[in-house]
Amino acid sequence: MRHRICAAATAISLVLAATSARAEIVVGFVTGLSGPISSIGIPNAKGIAAGAAYKSEVGGETIRIIQLDDASDPTAAVRNARKLVEQEKVDFLIGTSGAPQTVAMATVATELKVPMVAISPIAEPAKGDGGPWVVQIPHPQMLLAQGVVADMKKRNVKTVGFIGFSDALGDLMYNSLTAAAQEAGIKVINNERYARTDTSVMPQVLKTIAARPDAIMVGGTATPGALPVLALSERGYKGPIYGNNGMISTDFLRVAGKAADGLICPTGPVAVAEQLPDTNPIKAVALAYRAAYEKANGSKPTDGFSAYAFDGWIVFTDAARRALESGAKPGTPAFKEALRQALMSSKEVVGTHAVYNFTPQSSFGVDERSRVLVKSEQGGWKLLP
C-alpha cells in the first residue's frame, strides 16, 4: 500500500512539475544574425534582449525566448517559423529582419494560427482563418512618406527622383512616395532600383541626376542604403536627399560618412529621445529602453532597429498580461486565441517609436505621434521642427 501511495504521489508530483514548467510563456523570435540583412538582424536581437531585461515576466509567469537565425533568407524564415510552432510549441512569434523574410514568416503565423508581431515593415498581411493574427511595429511607409512630402512642399520641390531596393521593401517605399507625392502635386519622375548585395549604383544615380529632379529619395536601408548617398555625393549632386527610418543607425552613418550630412529622414522619436519635450509620453519609455539595452548588451544603442524589436516586446507583454487575465493557460490553443484578441485590442501602449493602438481592421497601430523628421549632422541626428 505504501509503495502504491508513494508511486501515486510521485506521479502527481511529475504531472504538477510538468504543468508548472509549461506554465511559462514561450516566445519564438526569428532574426537575421547572418547574411546581407544582419546589420538589421543583429540590432533586432539586441532589442529583444533589452526587452527581456526590461520585463522578464508577466502576471507571475516567466517568459522563455527561443531565438533562431534565418540568415536573411525568406525560405529559412519559413522553416524557422514552422519549427518554432510545430516543434517548440511557442505561444507567440516575433520577427524578423527584412520585408521578404517577414512576409514569409507572417504567412506561416497566419496559417498555423499563432499571434505574431512583425518588426519589419510589410504590406497588410492576409487575415486568415479566425484572424487577423499579425500586427506590425514599424511605421506604415505611407505615414513616413507623407512626412517627407510635407517637408518637400516647404522647400518648393516639384519633382523627385527615386533610387531604392529591388524587392518588396523598395516597392513599398516607391508606392508610398508616389501616392503621397500625387496628393501634394509633386511628380515622381523616375524609379531606379538596385539589389541589397550590389556594390555599385552609379548607373542608377547617373540616370536619376540626368532627369534633373528637385530632390531625390533613397529607398534603401542599413549599410546598403549608403550606396546611393555616396554615389550622389561623388557625382556632385547638391539637391535635397531624403532617406528613411531604415537608415537610422551608426553603421549607416559610418559607411556613408560626410556624404550623409544634410540627409533628411523620417523616423520614430526614439532616435532623438533627449531632444523631445518632457510632455511627450514616448520620451520616458525611450530613455528606459536605452537603460535596458545597456544592461542587456553592455553598450549604448546606436540604431533604430533594436527599438522596433523592443517595442514588439512591449506590445507582446501588454497583450500577454491581458490574455492571462482571461484565465487561458500558456501552451494551449485558448491562450493563443486570447493573445490574438488582446493583441488586436491594444490601446495606448507607449513604446519608443510610437503609442500603439491595434484593431482587427489594420495591422498598423501608429499615428502621427510616431513620426519625426531628423537631419544628419556631423555623424548624428538633429530633430527638425
Give residue-wise pLDDT tens across range 37-69. 998 999 999 999 999 999 999 999 999 999 999
Q: Residues for the chain: how many in total?
A: 385
Indicate the CATH number of 141-267 among 1.10.1200.10, 3.30.870.10, 3.40.50.2300, 3.40.50.300. Answer: 3.40.50.2300
Q: What is the pTM of this model?
A: 0.84
Indicate the CATH number of 25-139+282-370 among 3.90.650.10, 3.40.50.2300, 3.20.20.70, 3.50.50.60. Answer: 3.40.50.2300
Relative orientation angle of helices 141-154 and 168-184, to the nearest 10 degrees:
40
The arithmetic mean of pLDDT across residues 348-371, rounded, is 95
The helix (H) or strand (E) run that includes residue 194 is: strand 192-194
Q: Within the chain, where are the H helices?
A: 2-22, 38-54, 74-82, 99-112, 141-154, 168-184, 202-210, 226-234, 250-256, 281-297, 305-325, 333-343
Is the distance from CB of 148 to CB of 242 less than 8 angstroms? yes
Q: How many whole angstroms separate alpha carbon 52 and alpha carbon 41?
A: 17
Intervals of CATH 3.40.50.2300 along the chain: 25-139+282-370, 141-267
Question: What is 152-182 written as a DSSP string?
Answer: HHHTT--EEEEEEESSHHHHHHHHHHHHHHH
Residue 5 pLDDT > 50? no
Q: How many whole angstroms separate alpha carbon 235 and alpha carbon 204?
A: 12
Would you give the distance in Å from CA 163 to the centre of its chain? 22
Is the distance from CB of 240 to CB of 324 less than 8 angstroms? no
Other CB atoms within a 10 A radius of the CB of residue 21 amount to 10
Give residue-wise pLDDT tens across range 130-164. 889 999 999 999 999 999 999 999 999 999 999 99
The arithmetic mean of pLDDT across residues 316-333, rounded, is 97
